[in-house]
Copies of this chain bind each other. A is one copy, B any other.
Amino acid sequence: MPPSPDAGPAPTVDQATVDQATVDQATVDLLGLLAYGELTAFERMATDARMSPTVADKIALAKMAAAEFAHFQAISDELDRLGVDRELAMAPFIAPLTAFHNSTAPADWLESLVKAYVGDNIAADFYREIAARLPSPSRELVLKVLDDTGHAAFAVERVRAAISANPTVAGRLALWARRLVGEALTQAQRVGVDRDALTGLLVGVGDLEALAAIFNRIMAAHGRRMAALGLSA
């Protein structure tokens, strides 16, 4: 992975300067990012299912993976509807998403559960913040896809049980979650530098204070998930 250049503080731009062309490129970018994100999440979860200690766990993770593929299909269909080549739309995000997954390959079953829960949800929160600024009906589609997870309870229950059986596990998993967030931020910054239209949507919120509020919302939700797992954020 090449070192990410310093993005520096986002410049403040008035919402009115975000014109239709920018929004359209941003829509394509977000859909492309989401599509490839779901496709790689599918692949990685299905691969991680091989580490599952029981058949029931294997089935649960495989089900989560299959749901990710259904999401990929929904996003791909939306790109088709917009007349956008889905491979072209995904292309800019292959390198950062591959780099993220390569640098965060879970070493065991618990790490893969934490990645599925913490990693997926922090990404989803970030996508949601951008999606809220997209035109209809892409906005509604993206928000619907992001809401359809429903696998939180499974991961939380398994991780809590593992910590309860062996409390020393908590320290290792908390470090792991921190690494996941760090790598995600590194790649998000890389995407932000390369994709002006996507960044433009967030910059379009008007001021650094609003941008900080978005970041704080995402990190607060992350903290609640870590607490649910029984891990210190």
Residues of chain A having any CB pair with chain B under 8 Å: 36, 39, 42-43, 46-47, 49-50, 54-56, 58-59, 62-63, 65-66, 69-70, 72, 76, 87, 90-91, 94
Interface of A is mostly: helix
A70 and B59 form a contact (CB under 8 A): no
Choose among B55, B69, B90, B91 the residue that contacts A66 (Cβ–Cβ < 8 A).
B69
Choose among B50, B58, B66, B94 the residue that contacts A70 (Cβ–Cβ < 8 A).
B66
A91 vs B43: C-alpha distance in the bound complex, in angstroms? 25
Most interface-central of A54, A87, A91 (chain B CB within 10 A): A87
B39 and A43 form a contact (CB under 8 A): no
Contacts A47-B46, A69-B62, A69-B66 hold; do A90 and B39 have CB atoms under 8 A apart?
A: no
A44 vs B118: C-alpha distance in the bound complex, in angstroms? 25
